Structure 1
Amino acid sequence: MSKFVDTLRATGTGGRDKGFITGEPHAPLRRTWAEVHVTATELAGGLVAGGLRPGTAVAVLAADPAVIAPAVQAVWLAGGSVTMLHQPTPRTDLGEWAQDTLKVLGMIEAGLVLLGSPFDALSGVLDEHGITYRKLTDLAGEPLSEPVHVDEDATALLQLTSGSTADPKAVRITHRNLMANMTAMITASKFDFEADTMVSWLPLFHDMGMVGFLTLPMTFGIELVKVSPVEFLGGPLLWFDLISRYHGTVTAAPNFAYAIAGRRLSSVEDDGKYDLSRLRIALNGAEPIDSAAVKSFTDAGARFGMNPGCVLCAYGMAETTLGVSFAAPGDGLAVDVIDADELEAGKRAVPATDGRTRSFPLLGYPLPGLEIKIVDENGDVRGDREVGLIMLRGESVTPGYLTVNGPVSTQDEHGWLDTGDEGYLIDGQVVVCGRRKDVIIMGGRNIYPTDIERAATSVDGVRAGNAVAVRLDAGTRRERFAVALESNRANDPEAVKVIKDEVAAKVVDAAGVRPYAVIVLPPGNLPKTPSGKLRRAAAGEQVARMLAKD
């Protein structure tokens, strides 16, 4: 039996009173992990009695974390693998979403789909295409007395990635990968299973939500408060209300959420509204970290007792199960300020003395069990503060992808993963500059789009986290870039002109280059992944089409 399933079962039968709370803010419900395990054994019994064979890919589509937790545990107890299907957003075309879902089910060769509210209506589409499904409300059977045997290299999770094309891709995460990465994150975060309480609104179809804020606390028995992204977006201050009322110590979110949180917290008039003094980790990961957004968050949180050292900058990806590197708990945000000209022309991170600068957050040391190296275009290892491609190796690195064209390995012949990210090391600490494929090359300079995007979002009227810099005529002598952004003032021609002029000026000041075009769009028009991150490649295609019409 895999160590992961053994640990999951031991937590469920160990008699500890830790559990998780769902249903906030309207109908909170707390169940212990032991109670979740009892339900999981009944669902697992139903799966096995229904003919589920070891190794079967099981897709799960449900909204309520209280339903999802025992369902995914049941799949693992029954020997299957879990795929959390992407859920539609309010702006999603449901017809396209259904077709994309069918494509994913074909790619993973799903043997079964588990449906929960409010997605029962998909059953008609599944019937039409001959796809086997069961409703979670009808699944329970005789409790499974012993988990179905699986080995360490069996697939535990097929994590869907959020690519920029219509073709889906899933990272194959094994039981060994999952246990190795969770254990490493627990060590790096200095978890106290008795004292820590985790609070999260992250979607469970995203790796940070699924691995970090469901599977990990369920496996090791850590108190968890879990709400849906819909609840957070409907009222972001709910996040801090939950941290306050449940004495939350650990939370996590992408950078854009901290930018929103900083603004909302600063508008609260009552200094006694929240108690954030127990928050020891507010992990910032999943997208580039903006130090200005972090500072606005910590400044606003200080009124409510929040220690600025709680911000934990992190680097991660599904290809390493979740985590790659964590800063030390309590250290807070640390920024490396370097010479922009040396970075862009010489690919060296030289500490700045004067002139143009760039700043990048330090993302900590690699998690236990992971090796990291920086290489140049020829594969030669680069030294400290020399920029190159980030390569990773270790037990957390997953074996491969499932794609519509079949399986693809993630590792080279020596076990190294090419992350596709450029960065450098400072005495072993990781710094990420950006995605190699997104780097804008102009006049022999390598310009990272995040610098342009941060400059753009500093302009009044631009929605935080909703600006994207895209390459035009990439790889040619005519390479240029454009900036697309969202604004609530997009329908006011005079306001749009002001925004365009100010964005162009800010970009010139920050990066020393002028955008070929600045495009102002109404909210909701930039392409995003189901978890809310901007899809830069898709945005590039969108911008190119718009410019071609002009």
Structure 2
Amino acid sequence: MGAPLSGAASASGLWEALTDRAATARSALHCWVGDRFDSAPWRQVVRDAQAMTAGLRRAGVRSGTRVAAVLTNTPHAVRGVLAVWLAGGALASLPAPARGLARDEYAGQLTGICAQLGPTLFLTDQRTLDVLPASLGEHVPVRSWESFVDSGRVDPSPPGDDELAFVQYSSGSTSAPKGCALTPRAIAAQLDLVMSVLEGRPGGEVTASWLPLSHDMGMFGCLLTPWAHDFELWLSTPERFTFSPRTWFGDLAEFGATVTAGTNTALHLSARAGRSARLGRGLRTRVCVLGAERVDWDTLRLAVDAFGPHGLRAEAFTPAYGLAEATLAVTATPAAQAPRHLVLDAVALADGELVEVAPDDPAATRVVSAGLPGRGVELVGMSADAPREIQVRSASLAEGYLGDERRTREHFRDGTLLTGDLGFVRDGHLYPVGRVDDVLSVAGRKVHAREIESAVDGLDGVRRGCSALVGHYDGGGLRLTLFVELRRGPADYRALAERAAGLVMARGAVALDECVFLERNSLPRTPSGKIQRHRCWPLFSTGRFTPLATVDLAAG
């Protein structure tokens, strides 16, 4: 597998891999620009990054400073990541604009983060710069990556082992963005973990990805791992994928990619599009890591049906569990092993019990394994008998949340991360089942919102992965509202709402009060595709949604 980057948990191996080793690499980076891929060998990428450092230094970037950035999948952004480090700065990756987020809200989010971060500079590519709020420049100098191209080279002074190197701000699927503070030591350990999961061969893999670099899976899994290990990398964009989901597996086939990664929702979209795709060269992909959200068993079956005739085996799919607080990955299904799942009673699961049932049981739900702990990872206090909060010890843990001592104390305790996710362990495999803050307490019952949403996905006319169950108070107690995007319209909204209510009762033993039907692409999402459940009710109650119909089930 090649020499590990971390060595004795030192940063030197990381910087060597991204500079000296990359300077002699045989492989190349190919970035989607406009309507084609722009190609350059990794050694040229390194030289270009080095040639940006003098300009960054003149702009105030040096050891101990912080640089804020909205990272897009452009050639200049890729080079800028290394350039900031070589100039001595710590790079903070701020959220890209989330779907459904108003311009003024996004401006407030960015300025709030910058007030906490205290950056010397704010950087992004020129195209994104043109749409950023002008008010941002009142708080921090705002520049484009392009403005530093060929500005000169200085002696490198990257962050040391335990110094701040990267701050990953989440896009906030459940709460306000948190800045996970990462050291080179943690990053190096994570790249070793990813390589062990992939059973990767330095210089012998081809990666294709569209995941945003503003997301941890895009940055560490799909950019830095190929860079550090001399993989050929075909880097597309989330915009291209959104416009045409078939491009993901089309790229895998065209370029002979052996490694890729994505989300469950993205796989479902691609599989639906791929049923009629012509993948003439076939698929050589041996590892397709699936993370960022829970993996659905039906999605895996759909993908095998769609892509199996083109050479993709079930063993290629690698469900994984991770989070930015652990840099990226925590657990993953071993390479060349087919995903596994358990069929459980959803109502019992909501009550904290694990009861296996027959697949045709009305309350059955399929829970997919997220695999085994990776290199240097330990799951703490987990049970095989009941869901508990997932607690993690890892060589890749963040130092905490930058500038947020309260949240740091709540989630980082004595070298252990309290994730806020729920899961259980069977035969060493982790089975995530939801989040603590996805658990709604209704009349003394615990309802796992994601379990309900997964069941609603199966209703005819509902877009898969496009529903959100929200609890809110109206002065008379907690009400449950289900937001649903439809594949098409019009529909018999009352009948569909009643079927959804039946599923809520069957799966959660609670009553649904209201069902709000929305057009496609209405629900707010993070750039990686996760629904921001916490924003749904405020958007609806303030008139920011335009519903196709609202059915009040409580009124009869």
Alignment TM-score, normalising by the size of structure 2: 0.88
Which amino acid is the alignment partner of residue 466 of structure 1?
C
Are 1:311 and 2:321 counterparts?
Answer: no
- The corresponding residue for 2:377 is 370
Over 3 Å counting, the alpha-carbon distance change for 1:165 and 1:526 in structure 2 is same
Matches within 5 A, 1:138-149: 138-140=147-149, 143-144=152-153, 146-149=155-158
Are 1:45 and 2:51 counterparts?
Answer: no
| Superposition deviation, residue 142 in structure 1 | 6.2
- The corresponding residue for 2:7 is none
- The corresponding residue for 1:195 is 204
Alpha-carbon distance between aligned partners in 1 of 2:459 and 2:109, rounded to the nearest angstrom: 36
Are 1:245 and 2:254 counterparts?
Answer: yes
| Superposition deviation, residue 126 in structure 1 | 5.8
Alpha-carbon distance between aligned partners in 2 of 1:239 and 1:127, rounded to the nearest angstrom: 34
- The corresponding residue for 1:379 is none
User: For the Cα contact (< 8 Å) 1:5–1:76, is it kept in 2?
Assistant: no
- Which residue among 339, 356, 359 is the counterpart of 1:351? 356
Matches within 5 A, 1:331-350: 331-340=337-346, 342-345=348-351, 347-350=352-355
User: For the Cα contact (< 8 Å) 2:331–2:373, is it kept in 1?
Assistant: yes
- The corresponding residue for 2:97 is 88
Deviations 1:197-241 (A, max 9, x none): 111111111111111111222222211100111111111111122
| Superposition deviation, residue 351 in structure 1 | 3.4
Which amino acid is the alignment partner of residue 330 of structure 1?
A
Alpha-carbon distance between aligned partners in 1 of 2:520 and 2:402, rounded to the nearest angstrom: 34
Alpha-carbon distance between aligned partners in 1 of 2:355 and 2:101, rounded to the nearest angstrom: 45
- The corresponding residue for 1:536 is 533
Deviations 1:485-538 (A, max 9, x none): 112546x3x532232133223444444444222211222332222332101122
- The corresponding residue for 1:481 is 480
Alpha-carbon distance between aligned partners in 1 of 2:323 and 2:55, rounded to the nearest angstrom: 34
| Superposition deviation, residue 91 in structure 1 | 5.1
User: For the Cα contact (< 8 Å) 1:311–1:332, is it kept in 2?
Assistant: yes
Segments of 5+ residues of structure 2 without an aligned counterpart are 1-9, 544-549
Over 3 Å counting, the alpha-carbon distance change for 1:409 and 1:219 in structure 2 is farther
Alpha-carbon distance between aligned partners in 2 of 1:323 and 1:458, rounded to the nearest angstrom: 29
| Superposition deviation, residue 421 in structure 1 | 1.0
- Which residue among 272, 280, 283 is the counterpart of 1:277? 283
- The corresponding residue for 2:4 is none
Q: Does 250-259 or 313-322 show the bigger shift?
A: 250-259
Query: In structure 2, the residue corresponding to 1:259 is in which secondary structure?
Result: helix
Alpha-carbon distance between aligned partners in 2 of 1:63 and 1:392, rounded to the nearest angstrom: 30
Deviations 1:170-210 (A, max 9, x none): 11111111111111111122011222111111111111111
User: For the Cα contact (< 8 Å) 1:63–1:118, is it kept in 2?
Assistant: no
Alpha-carbon distance between aligned partners in 2 of 1:167 and 1:307, rounded to the nearest angstrom: 39
Which amino acid is the alignment partner of residue 253 of structure 1?
G
- Which residue among 324, 328, 345 is the counterpart of 2:330? 324
Alpha-carbon distance between aligned partners in 2 of 1:351 and 1:213, rounded to the nearest angstrom: 36
Over 3 Å counting, the alpha-carbon distance change for 1:236 and 1:274 in structure 2 is farther
| Superposition deviation, residue 482 in structure 1 | 2.6
- The corresponding residue for 1:299 is 305
Matches within 5 A, 1:218-237: 218-237=227-246
Query: In structure 2, the residue corresponding to 1:21 is in which secondary structure?
Result: strand
- The corresponding residue for 2:44 is 35
Are 1:419 and 2:419 counterparts?
Answer: yes
| Superposition deviation, residue 428 in structure 1 | 1.8
| Superposition deviation, residue 9 in structure 1 | 1.6
| Superposition deviation, residue 60 in structure 1 | 2.4
Over 3 Å counting, the alpha-carbon distance change for 1:23 and 1:497 in structure 2 is same
Alpha-carbon distance between aligned partners in 2 of 1:517 and 1:371, rounded to the nearest angstrom: 42
Q: Does 523-532 or 252-261 show the bigger shift?
A: 523-532
- Which residue among 493, 503, 506 is the counterpart of 1:496? 493
Are 1:103 and 2:112 counterparts?
Answer: yes
How many residue pairs end up in the alignment?
A: 535
| Superposition deviation, residue 545 in structure 1 | 6.7
Q: Does 16-25 or 177-186 show the bigger shift?
A: 16-25
Deviations 1:122-142 (A, max 9, x none): 688268515223332231456
| Superposition deviation, residue 145 in structure 1 | 5.7
Query: In structure 2, the residue corresponding to 1:466 is in which secondary structure?
Result: strand
Over 3 Å counting, the alpha-carbon distance change for 1:129 and 1:221 in structure 2 is same
Over 3 Å counting, the alpha-carbon distance change for 1:119 and 1:151 in structure 2 is same
Query: In structure 2, the residue corresponding to 1:51 is in which secondary structure?
Result: coil
Q: Percent identity over the alignment?
A: 26
User: For the Cα contact (< 8 Å) 1:184–1:367, is it kept in 2?
Assistant: yes
If asked which structure has higher relative contact order (CA below 8 Å, sep 6+), I would say 2
- The corresponding residue for 1:453 is 453
Segments of 5+ residues of structure 1 without an aligned counterpart are 375-381
| Superposition deviation, residue 458 in structure 1 | 1.0
Over 3 Å counting, the alpha-carbon distance change for 1:171 and 1:434 in structure 2 is same
Alpha-carbon distance between aligned partners in 2 of 1:417 and 1:477, rounded to the nearest angstrom: 37
Are 1:516 and 2:493 counterparts?
Answer: no
| Superposition deviation, residue 166 in structure 1 | 7.9
| Superposition deviation, residue 424 in structure 1 | 0.8
- Which residue among 145, 154, 163 is the counterpart of 1:136? 145
Query: In structure 1, the residue corresponding to 2:408 is in which secondary structure?
Result: strand
Which amino acid is the alignment partner of residue 487 of structure 1?
L
| Superposition deviation, residue 90 in structure 1 | 7.1
Alpha-carbon distance between aligned partners in 1 of 2:477 and 2:55, rounded to the nearest angstrom: 61
- The corresponding residue for 1:290 is 296
Alpha-carbon distance between aligned partners in 2 of 1:99 and 1:477, rounded to the nearest angstrom: 32
| Superposition deviation, residue 41 in structure 1 | 0.5
- Which residue among 226, 242, 253 is the counterpart of 1:217? 226
| Superposition deviation, residue 399 in structure 1 | 1.1
- Which residue among 2, 15, 28 is the counterpart of 1:19? 28
- The corresponding residue for 2:3 is none
| Superposition deviation, residue 305 in structure 1 | 1.5
Alpha-carbon distance between aligned partners in 2 of 1:447 and 1:130, rounded to the nearest angstrom: 43
